[in-house]
C-alpha cells in the first residue's frame, strides 16, 4: 500500500477542533452538550458585509482573483493599518490569503529551512508549532508563566534565541490565555529583537479589537519603528467582525518577504474568493462602532465566567486583558477522583472526564503547551456560559 509523507508524523490534529467535533458528535446523538471549546464568535457577520458580497456576485465579480488580493481590498487594508496601527504599507507590501492561518503557514514555508528555529511564547495557539514542524523547522517554546500574567519576559526571550532562530512569533492578545502586552511590555520585547538583526518577527494580531478595561492594543512595528523592515503584521476579519467562515486573512510586511509568501500562496491556492474580498472591504471601510459594542459584550461574559469559576475550589483564574478565552489552572484538583471513579492525573484527564460525565467541552492546556490548565471560550451566550459553569462546578464538587 502507498505510504504517507513523513512530514505528517509530527503534525497532530488540533485538540480544539477534535474536542469541538466530539461535542458535535454527542449532540447529533441527542446528548445535551455545552460546547465551550471553539474560538468562534457567536455574533452574526455585519449586514453590510453580506450586502457587499451579494452586490459583488450580482455584478459578476466571480472570476479568478488577483493572487495577492484585489486592489480595492489591499487599499482598504492599507487604510486599516494606518487607522488602527499607525503603520504605512504600500499595496506591494500587502497580501491577502484564505485566513490568517494560511498567511502564517505560507510565511513559515517561504522562509524556514530544515532545522531553522521559531521562538513561540507559550502557551500558544496549537497550530503554530505544527506549522513550523510541517516546514521542517523546530518550534522553540518559551514559557510565559501564570505568575507573570502569561506575558513574555525579555530575559526569557533573549535566552531562547540562537544562531538558528529564524522567527519570533508573537500573539497578544493571546490564544489561549487572553494575555495582552502593554506598550511598555512590547517595547521591552522590541529592545531584545533590536539586538538580533537576522531574526524575522511575526505578530498575529487577530484579537486586536478584543481588549477590555481601557487596555490599549499595540503591535510591535508600531511600538518600535526600527523593526519595521523585519516585521510581518498578520490580521484578518474572522474574530473582530465574526467572519470565520468567510476565510480571509491578510498581512503587511517588507516587499521581498511579501513576494516570497505570495509565491508560496500561488502554489497552494488560486487566491481568495472575490465575494469574500468584497465583504471585507465593506467591514474595513464601514462603521467601526460595532467593534467596541461587541467587545463590551465579551467583557461582560468574561467577568461572568470569572465570577463563576473563581468560586470553585481547586481552580485558579487569571483575569485576561483580551481575546475571548480564560485559562484556569486545575493544580488544586490533580490527584482527585471523579464521581464515576476516574482519577485526574492531568489536564487531559480533566477535560475528557468533564465531557463524558457532564457533557461540557473545553480544551486541555497541554494542547497549548502548558499544564495543568484548560481553555474555556466565552464566545457564546451568557445562558450557555451559565449552564457550562454550573456543570463544571458540579463536576468539581463531586471530586474526591
**Domain match, 248 and 357 both:** no
Q: Of the residues 265, 285, 305, which one is the last residue of a structural domain?
A: 285
Q: Is residue 261 domain-shared with residue 148, that is, in the same domain?
A: yes
In a domain, 324, yes or no: yes
Write down the pLDDT at residue 124. 98
Q: What is d(CA 97, CA 111) in angstroms, rounded to the nearest whole number?
A: 17
> What average pLDDT does the segment 193-210 reach?
98
In a domain, 20, yes or no: yes
**Mean pLDDT in residue range 253-264:** 97
- Pairwise pLDDT comparison (129 vs 11), residue with the higher score: 129
Domain annotation covers residue 278: yes
Q: How far apart are CA 275 and CA 60, in angstroms?
A: 10
- Low-confidence winner among 19-23, 154-158, 238-242 (lowest mean pLDDT): 19-23
Give domain status of residue 363, yes or no.
yes
Identify whether residues 211 and 251 lie together within a single domain: yes
Q: What is the CATH number of the domain that holds 83?
A: 3.40.640.10
Check whether residue 102 and residue 208 sit in a common domain. Answer: yes
Average pLDDT score over the chain: 95
Mean of the pLDDT values across residues 17-31? 82
- H-helix or E-strand spanning residue 118: strand 117-122
For 360-396, give one letter per residue: b (16+ CB within 10 A) or e: bbbbbbbbbbbbbbbbbbbbbeeebbebbbebbbebb
Task: Tell me if 365 is assigned to some domain.
Answer: yes
**Residue 52 included in any domain:** yes
255/301 same-domain check? no
Find out whether 325 and 376 touch, Cβ atoms under 8 Å. Answer: yes
Host domain of residue 250 = 47-285
Please indicate, yes or no, whether residues 233 and 300 belong to a single structural domain of this protein. Answer: no
Domain boundary among 285, 309, 338: 285
Q: Supply the CATH number for residue 374's domain.
A: 3.90.1150.10
**Structural domains of the chain, count:** 2
Residues 152 and 208 in one domain: yes
Question: Could you write out the DSSP letters of every residue in 28-67?
Answer: HTT---EE-------SPPPHHHHHHHHHHHHTT--SPPPT
Q: Kindly state whether residues 275 and 311 are assigned to the same domain.
A: no
Whether 109 and 231 share a structural domain: yes
Whether 1 is in a domain gets the answer no
Q: What is the pLDDT of residue 189?
A: 98
Does the structure show a pLDDT above 90 at 372?
yes
| Residue with grid cell 523585519, as numbered in its chain | 230
Same-domain status, 191 and 266: yes
Give the CA count within 13 Å in the CB-facing half-sphere of 156.
15
Whether residues 65 and 127 share a domain: the answer is yes
pLDDT-derived band at 16, boundaries 50, 70, 90: confident
Give the tens place of pLDDT for each residue, 304-330.
999 999 889 999 999 999 999 999 999
Q: Which of the residue ranges 13-17, 149-153, 307-311, 384-388 would you say has the lowest mean pLDDT?
A: 13-17
Q: Region 118-123: what's the mean pLDDT?
A: 98
Q: What is the pLDDT of residues 28-56, one digit of tens each?
A: 888 899 999 988 999 999 999 999 999 99
Answer whether residue 11 is part of any domain.
yes
114 and 252 in a single domain? The answer is yes
Of 239, 264, 285, the one marking the end of a domain is 285
pTM of the model: 0.95
Check if the beta carbon of residue 108 is closer than 8 Å to that of residue 258: no
The 10s digit of each residue's pLDDT in 53-93 is: 999 999 999 999 999 999 999 999 999 999 999 999 999 99
Query: What's the rounded Cα separation, in Å, for the pair 155 and 307?
Result: 34
Strands (E), 283-362: 325-326, 360-361
Amino acid at each position: 500500500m502507498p505510504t504517507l509523507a513523513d512530514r505528517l508524523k509530527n503534525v497532530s490534529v488540533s485538540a480544539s477542533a477534535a474536542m469541538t467535533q466530539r461535542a458535535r458528535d454527542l449532540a447529533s446523538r441527542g446528548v445535551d452538550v455545552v460546547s465551550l471549546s471553539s474560538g468562534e464568535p457567536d455574533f452574526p457577520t455585519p449586514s453590510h458585509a453580506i450586502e457587499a458580497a451579494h452586490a459583488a456576485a450580482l455584478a459578476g465579480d466571480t472570476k479568478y482573483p488577483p493572487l495577492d488580493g484585489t486592489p480595492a481590498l489591499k487599499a482598504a487594508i492599507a487604510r486599516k493599518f494606518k487607522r488602527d496601527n499607525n503603520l504605512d504599507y504600500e499595496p506591494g507590501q500587502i497580501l491577502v490569503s484564505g485566513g490568517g492561518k494560511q498567511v502564517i503557514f505560507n510565511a513559515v514555508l517561504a522562509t524556514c529551512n530544515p532545522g531553522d528555529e521559531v521562538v513561540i511564547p507559550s502557551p500558544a495557539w496549537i497550530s503554530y508549532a505544527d506549522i513550523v514542524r510541517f516546514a521542517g523547522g523546530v518550534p522553540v517554546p518559551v514559557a510565559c508563566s501564570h505568575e507573570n500574567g502569561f506575558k513574555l519576559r525579555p530575559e526569557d526571550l533573549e535566552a531562547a534565541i540562537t544562531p538558528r532562530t529564524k522567527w519570533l512569533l508573537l500573539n497578544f492578545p493571546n490564544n489561549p490565555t487572553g494575555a495582552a502586552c502593554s506598550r511598555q511590555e512590547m517595547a521591552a520585547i522590541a529592545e531584545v529583537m533590536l539586538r538580533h538583526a537576522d531574526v524575522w518577527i511575526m505578530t498575529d494580531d487577530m484579537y486586536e479589537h478584543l481588549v477590555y478595561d481601557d487596555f490599549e492594543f499595540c503591535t510591535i512595528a508600531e511600538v518600535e519603528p526600527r523593526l519595521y523592515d523585519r516585521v510581518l503584521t498578520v490580521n484578518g476579519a474572522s474574530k473582530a467582525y465574526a467572519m470565520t467562515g468567510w476565510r480571509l486573512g491578510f498581512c503587511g510586511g517588507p516587499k521581498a518577504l511579501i513576494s516570497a509568501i505570495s509565491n508560496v500562496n500561488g502554489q497552494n491556492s488560486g487566491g481568495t474568493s472575490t465575494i469574500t474580498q468584497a465583504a471585507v472591504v465593506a467591514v474595513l471601510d464601514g462603521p467601526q462602532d460595532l467593534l467596541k459594542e461587541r467587545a463590551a459584550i465579551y467583557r461582560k461574559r468574561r467577568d461572568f465566567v470569572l465570577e463563576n469559576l473563581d468560586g470553585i475550589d481547586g481552580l485558579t483564574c487569571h483575569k485576561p486583558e483580551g481575546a475571548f478565552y480564560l485559562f484556569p489552572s486545575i493544580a488544586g484538583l490533580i490527584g482527585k477522583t471523579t464521581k464515576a471513579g476516574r482519577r485526574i492525573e492531568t489536564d487531559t484527564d480533566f477535560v475528557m472526564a468533564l465531557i463524558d460525565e457532564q457533557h461540557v467541552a473545553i480544551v486541555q492546556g497541554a494542547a497549548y503547551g502548558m499544564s495543568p490548565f484548560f481553555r474555556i471560550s466565552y464566545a457564546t451566550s451568557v445562558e450557555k456560559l451559565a449552564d457550562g459553569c454550573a456543570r463544571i462546578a458540579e463536576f468539581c464538587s463531586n471530586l474526591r
